[in-house]
Amino acid sequence: MSEQSQEVLRLEALRKSYNIGQPNEVEVLHGIDLRIDRNDFAALIGPSGSGKSTLLNILGLLDKPTSGELYLLGQPTSAMDDTGRTALRGNSIGFVFQFHHLIQAFSALDNILMPLMMAHGKPDQQAMQRARDLLAAVGLEKFAERKPNELSGGQQQRVAIARALITEPALLLADEPT
C-alpha cells in the first residue's frame, strides 16, 4: 500500500475557539498538527479542561474547528455540509463514550446492531452474525438477549465497545472508556 492509503486521519493547523469576538473568548486548541495511520494507537492525555473532549468531538465530526483542516480517509472535512459529515462519520468512525448510552429497552445484541439499523434498516443475517461474533469477542455471547439493566457496568461498556466496532470503522474514538 502507498503511504497515502495508510493515512486515516490528518490535522493541519487545527484551532478551536469559543465565544469568538467576546471578552471571554478562549482558544482551546492551538494549531494542532497530527497524523494517524491505519493500525496506530494514540492516547490524549492531559488535565481536565485541556481540550481532550473538544478534540475528540472534532475528530469524530461532531463539532467543527474554528480554523485548520481535518482530513478523514484523505477527504477534507471543513467544507462538508452536515449531511456529508454525518455520512462520513457513520461509515468511518466508531465511538465509545465515557457513559455507555445504551438503549435500555434494547437487548445487548440490538444495542450493538443499532448503528447498522440506523444506516440500513433491518440487519441481514451477516450483520446479525457479526454482532454475535463481537459479543463473543468481548466475552458476552451468553448475554445477547439481556437488557442493559441486567448487565454490570463493565459488561455494558463491553457492549458499547462491540457497538462501536460493528460498522468496521476506519477510526475508533474512545472518551474515557474504562
The CA distance from 67 to 7, in Å, is 21
Q: Could you give the CA distance from residue 113 to residue 108 in angstroms, rounded to a whole number? A: 9
What single-letter amino acid sits at 25? E
Instruction: Of 69, 49, 50, give the one whose Cα is nearest residue 59.
Output: 69
- In degrees to the nearest 10, what's the CA dihedral of 49, 83, 128, 132? -10
**Counting Cβ atoms within 10 Å, is residue 81 exposed (0-12), middle (13-18) or buried (19+)?**
exposed
pLDDT of residue 91: 84
pTM here? 0.81
Radius of gyration of the chain (CA): 18
**DSSP code at position 24:** T
Long-range contacts of 116-119 (CB under 8 A, 24+ apart): 116/166, 116/167, 118/90, 119/90, 119/91, 119/167
What does the pLDDT read at residue 174? 85
Hey, what domains does the chain have and what are their CATH numbers? 3-80 (3.40.50.300), 108-174 (no CATH)
* Per-residue pLDDT of the chain in tens (178 residues, 90 and over written 9): 444 559 999 999 999 999 988 899 899 999 999 999 999 999 988 888 888 889 999 999 999 999 999 999 999 999 999 999 988 888 899 888 767 789 899 999 999 998 887 767 777 788 889 999 999 999 999 999 999 999 998 899 999 999 999 989 999 988 876 6
Distance CA 95, CA 61 (A): 11
